[in-house]
Amino acid sequence: MQITDFVEAGGDKFYVMEHLRGSTLAAILAAEGELRGSRLELRPSAGAAVASPDGRPVLVAWLKPYATYVASLELPDSPPELRPEPASVEIRPAYRSVSVVVARAAAAISARGRLVDGRGEPQAGLTGDLLARDGTKLAFSGTFADEEGWFECYGLEAGAHEILWSDGERSSFTVPPARVGEMVELGDVKKLPAPAAGGLR
């Protein structure tokens, strides 16, 4: 074994021990920002899960040379509104290299609004999907307007958003910067006819 170099991750410094014949010994899993202090787990499609009890950097020592690993990042002890970003990673050990996986808190602002038509009348009983900027539906982003038109959306970033409702019409709204997990009140959100093409206007 020999010391080849050091790697900094999550504010800590690691001296990398590596076999003389080369290739990767390990990856480093670390957390930054709001995730420091939270239990962070790396769960690969093959191999044992690796956990950092407090988000501080830990070594992932089971990697094999020149293999490709796909793994999800999870926060098992954190509230659901706190999510890691990226949600999954692909690790490809290369000759004499170290992979560093740094997780941050994903944007997870919640928003609540009342769906109304152009006359201000509440629109009840509609389901909706958040749209990406290219106009496609985002996975796991459904919402529902209750009998008074109130709906909620979760896991939002600050900025402009658009919902496609089950009757084919759309609503646009803007989420201001907020703390992770905070519920932003949107007030009345108008339902408008869908544009001919495109995503956010």
For 95-117, how does the pLDDT look when each residue is reduced to its tens digit (9 = 90+)? 666 777 888 777 678 899 999 99
- What's the predicted TM-score (pTM) here? 0.52
Average pLDDT over residues 24-53: 78
- Domain co-membership, 121 together with 149: yes
- Domain co-membership, 94 together with 118: no
Q: Which domain holds residue 146?
A: 109-190
Q: Are strands 183-190 and 109-116 parallel, antiparallel or unpaired?
A: parallel
- Domain co-membership, 45 together with 20: yes
Give Cα separations from 197 to 51, 116, 200 (angstroms).
Answer: 45, 23, 10
Of 61, 81, 105, the position where a domain reaches its end is: 105
Asked whether the predicted pLDDT for residue 24 surpasses 60, the reply is no
What tokens does 2 get? Answer: 């020999």
String of DSSP letters for 74-100: E-TTS-TT--EESSEEEE---TT--EE
pLDDT-derived band at 157 (thresholds 50, 70, 90) equals: confident
Is residue 196 assigned to a domain? no
- Domain co-membership, 43 together with 131: no
25-34 in b/e burial notation, b at 16+ Cβ within 10 A? bbbbbbbeeb
